[in-house]
Structure 1
Amino acid sequence: MPPFRVLYLDMNSFFASVEQQLDPALRGRPVAITAVDSDSGACVAASYEAKAYGVKTGTHVRDARRLCPGIIFRPSRHRLYVRFNLAVADVLDRHAELTHIRSVDEFQLALSGEARTLAGAVDLVARLKAAIAVEVGDCLRFSAGIGPNHLLAKIAGKLEKPDGCQWLGSENLPDAIAHLALDDLPGISAAMKARLYRARVFDVPSLFALDPRHARLIWRSVEGERFVRMLQGMDIPLVATERGGFGNSKVLSPEYRDPRRAYLVGRWLVEKATARLRRDGRVAGRFSLSVSSMAGGVWSRNVSCFPTQDTAIFLRLHRALWVRLWRTARPGAVISIGVHLGDVGFLQDRRGDLLMPLAPAELTRGERVSRALDQINARHGDGAIRFGMNTPHPGFFERG
């Protein structure tokens, strides 16, 4: 049996489990976590007791009540879940080699020494389960996947839930995953599944048997070859990717759906996105705004600008696009809003401008002001000083 190199941990019903850990009255009972405290909202997570009734991520609150009359709802507390994520990460890093925190509920570890054998890896999983139960909470459980690379370890981690442990390697592939649909595999979107179908690849065994060079043609990228080689068990390291942009999107709770309040939430999202842009030492040359209304329409526009990290400039672009939206579409109740900073590059690579005048990589006056505000907020807390009026809207449905 070839050596195992990666252990992938997927926390089971993480958000609901955290709530059950903190409130013993919730243990053993069906619990759902909601994005907004309203019947019009949806469940963003569910405990396994709720899943047994058919409640899952995306189920509307009213449907969850119908499926499971005794279900208990709790509003999402994303910052709390992040704290538990860090507590779990601390335990893992003290007992093994934590290499990646993949998401708020997924972790990747490197295997070494005796843990590269199947028996050693299974023993490590048992020790990690026990350590998390003692040091973080006995309601916090995870499913583990063991594999020769990160792709197979992640797939293995989804095979047995909850509280499971599975492995994938040359001895059990592709039979152990032959029952999965193509789009059950990480990285296979609906569009890629359709592309594979057009290439007459209809199932996982066929994909496993595919010539990696053929996969490159189907994907129209070297990523197809990498994917199939990893599926076949090769150890191919993760490749750092170029960041395509910075953005935030928000599903609005009912009290924020008036267009005037949604506009102020948008200003808050712009401030958050531009602060992250500066922390990463980047500039952006394109701003995009997307607004979804309750009527079902989505309005989306973008505008180019000189590459910058000045919050005030992006707030002006945000206002200009809202004015354009108001003149052309007049949205009713707004269900969600998103902002995105694109065409990003490093500040150090920005060319100068003789007309401004601005030397290469030199900060503009507005960028210096933005950085000063970052320093004040870092010392006194987010939002201590703002670029005019905005409306914070914290919660789980925030991406970027």
Structure 2
Amino acid sequence: MRFSVLYLDMNSFFASVEQHLDPSIRNRPVAITATEGEHGACVAASYEAKAYGVKTGTRVRDAKALCPGIVFLPSRHRLYVRYNLKVAEVLDRHAELYRIRSVDEFQIALSGEATELPGLTRLVTDMKAAVAREIGPCLRFSAGAGPNHLLAKIAGKLEKPDGFRWLDRENMPQAIAHLALDDLPGISSGMSERLNRAGIRDMAALCALDPRHARRIWNSVEGERFVRALQCEDIPLTETRSGGIGQSKILAPDFRAPREAYLVSRWLIAKAGRRLREAGKVAARFGLSIRMIDGRQFSRSMKCEARQDDLHFLRINRALWRLAWPDVARAQILSVGIQLDDTAPLSARNGDLLSGLGPAERLPAERAARAMDLINARFGDGTIRTGVNRPHPGFFERG
């Protein structure tokens, strides 16, 4: 067997950083909260707290009932980003750190002896020891290896905390036969239902699926790529063009009803759109991601006309929410995010002969959006808006 990707997932990262900094709370149940007070919720929990049933999304009052004596701390996202970079520096000295996937996830490109299991095992052992020695023993990670990113990521979730698992032709699909279809990253409950209708109801059937059939089920080439990756082919990640602009939000309990979350997404578009215009860019792809408290996710992006006005992106956002509605209508929403991708300078946009629009010229809706930016800059954010939205400033506002 030969491995090409190692995926590292920090264990209870936010809580572990706090335990590292404060020895008095080590080996104690700790929860990180997104908002203060009894109506707040936990955005992370230590393994000591998880043993009592406290998890991401648990309300503060419920966490207290489940785990008397639990320690609550407010989230400090900038602090966690600094420790993310500390960990990244240590990892990069041992192997090629290909990509920081998120604040607590890393992707390593394997080469040389590390592509074989004995060398890979030594590498993982050395990196675990280095992180503990150079940063602190509270910071641990689970590792997963595979011939592609998807299998490495799945493997990294199989043994927590502080585990190491691998997936390859020798143990697939039996090593993941116990998982449900929507346990896999990228398969929402809606996609799981679509697979069920196609007669694909378990992991063995999914892994044996003809990739061409998968393309039809997904209605996208991504279905074929996904199944080929499960079949242990070397399927590289699709590269996203640099320069994208994103906004995401961990929601407080009062914002978790789907209709409230939708209004927050409109607010995020206003923020991202302003950044896009300030950068003098247009975006030709819009993405929406919705994460639910029960762990399900909806994520979809759509190619669109290269624009920079909020009204254009709000229409696409509404269309994607309609697609998501069967999955999210009865759910509690944990987080929502939007992404403006395939960006390019407005100055490089071609004109439209039929409409009379000249090269690099703004459309009327784009000129109106720019005028709104100027008004809000002078009189305060939200003075004038494109329709109704729900501002939600506070913890974990990223981008």
Is residue 111 of structure 1 aligned with residue 110 of structure 2? yes
Q: Quick check: 245-254 or 216-225, which moved more?
A: 245-254
Structure 1 unaligned blocks of 5 or more: 255-262, 289-305, 318-334, 374-384
- How far apart are residue 267 of structure 1 and its match? 7.7
**CA deviation profile, 1:296-325 (whole Å, cap 9, x unmatched):** xxxxxxxxxx97658xx88xx9xxxxxxxx
Displacement of 1:88 in angstroms is: 1.0
Tell me which amino acid in the other structure corresponds to 1:28. N
Listed one character per residue, the Cα deviations across residues 207-240 of structure 1 (whole Å, up to 9, x for unaligned) are 1111111111111111111111110100011112
Does the 8 A contact of 1:28 with 1:49 survive in 2?
yes
Q: 3-state DSSP class of the match of 1:224? A: helix
Give 1:34's aligned residue.
33
Residue identity (%): 60
Partner of 1:332: none
Q: 1: CA distance between counterparts of 2:342 and 2:154?
A: 33
Equivalent residue number for residue 172 of structure 1: 171
Structure 1 residues 285 and 88: alpha-carbon distance in aligned structure 2, compared to 1, 3 A threshold: closer
Please list, as runs of the form range in 1=range in 2, the aligned pairs for 1:175-190 lying within 5 A after superposition: 175-190=174-189
Find out whether 1:150 has 2:141 as its counterpart. no
Deviation of 1:337 (Å)? 11
After TM superposition, the structure 1 = structure 2 runs for residues 45-64 of structure 1, keeping only pairs within 5 Å, are 45-64=44-63
Distance 1:3 1:250 in 2: 38
CA drift of 1:47 comes to 0.1
Please name the residue that 1:134 is paired with.
Answer: 133
- Separation in 1, partners of 2:176, 2:252: 39
Per the alignment, in what secondary structure is the counterpart of residue 44 of structure 1? strand
> In structure 1, what is the equivalent of residue 380 of structure 2?
389
Is residue 38–residue 61 contact of structure 2 (8 Å, CA) maintained in 1? yes
SS at the partner of 2:379?
A: coil
Q: Secondary structure at the match of 2:158?
A: coil
Give me the whole-angstrom Cα distance separating, in 1, the residues matched to 2:89 and 2:38. 37
Question: Gapped runs of 5+ residues in structure 2?
Answer: 255-262, 289-304, 315-332, 382-390
Change (3 A) 1:271 1:222: closer
Q: Write the distance in 2 (CA, Å) between the matches of 1:217 and 1:204.
A: 18
The answer on 1:84 being equivalent to 2:47 is no
- Whichever residue aligns with residue 205 of structure 1, its letter is A
Q: Equivalent residue for 1:381?
A: none
In the alignment, the residues of structure 2 paired with residue 194 and residue 277 of structure 1 have an alpha-carbon distance, to the nearest angstrom, of 39
Cα distance change of structure 1 residues 341 and 84 upon mapping to structure 2, 3 Å threshold: closer
In 2, Cα distance between equivalents of 1:57 and 1:339: 17
Q: Residue 101 in 1 paired to residue 100 in 2?
A: yes
Distance in 2 separating the partners of 1:252 and 1:94: 39
**TM-score, normalization: structure 2?**
0.73
Change over 3 Å in CA distance of 1:193–1:341 after alignment to 2: closer
In structure 2, relative to structure 1, the CA distance for the partners of 1:386 and 1:136 (3 Å cut) is farther
CA contact (8 A) 2:9 2:143 kept: yes
> Aligned pair in 2 of structure 1 residues 118, 67: CA closer, same or farther (>3 Å)?
same
- Answer whether contact 1:270 1:339 (CA < 8 A) is retained: no
Determine the structure 1 residue equivalent to 2:193: 194
* SS of equivalent residue, structure 1 residue 88: helix
**Distance between the aligned counterparts of 2:394 and 2:154, measured in 1?**
32
Deviation at 1:250, TM superposition (A): 6.1
Q: How many residues align?
A: 344
Are the structure 2 counterparts of residues 234 and 387 from structure 1 closer, same or farther at C-alpha, using a change threshold of 3 Å? farther
Distance, in Å, in 1 between the alignment partners of 2:90 and 2:20 is: 17
Q: Deviations over 1:341-378 (max 9, x none)?
A: 86975224424589xx98523689x99xx8xx9xxxxx
CA change 1:267–1:240 in 2 (3 A) is: closer
Task: Assess if the C-alpha contact under 8 Å between 2:245 and 2:272 holds in 1.
Answer: no
Shift in Å, 1:100? 1.2
**Separation in structure 1 between the aligned mates of residue 339 and residue 225 of structure 2, nearest angstrom:** 29
Match of 2:325 in 1: none
CA shift in 2, pair 1:24/1:307, >3 Å: same
Answer yes or no: is the 8 Å Cα contact 1:246–1:276 preserved in 2: no
Distance 1:175 1:51, change over 3 A: same
Q: Distance in 2 between matches of 1:6 and 1:110?
A: 5
| Kept in 2: contact 1:277–1:283 (CA 8 A) | no
Aligned residue in 2 for 1:326: none
C-alpha separation in 1, matches of 2:47 and 2:110: 29
1:274 corresponds to which residue? 274
Larger radius of gyration: 1
In structure 2, the residue matched to 1:213 is 212
> What SS is found at the alignment partner of 1:146?
strand
Deviations 1:124-148 (A, max 9, x none): 1111111111222221100000111
2:157 and 2:334 map into 1 onto residues whose CA distance is: 31
- Asked if 1:235 corresponds to 2:234, the answer is yes
Alignment map for 1:360-399 (pairs within 5 Å): 360-361=359-360, 386-390=377-381, 393-396=393-396, 398=397
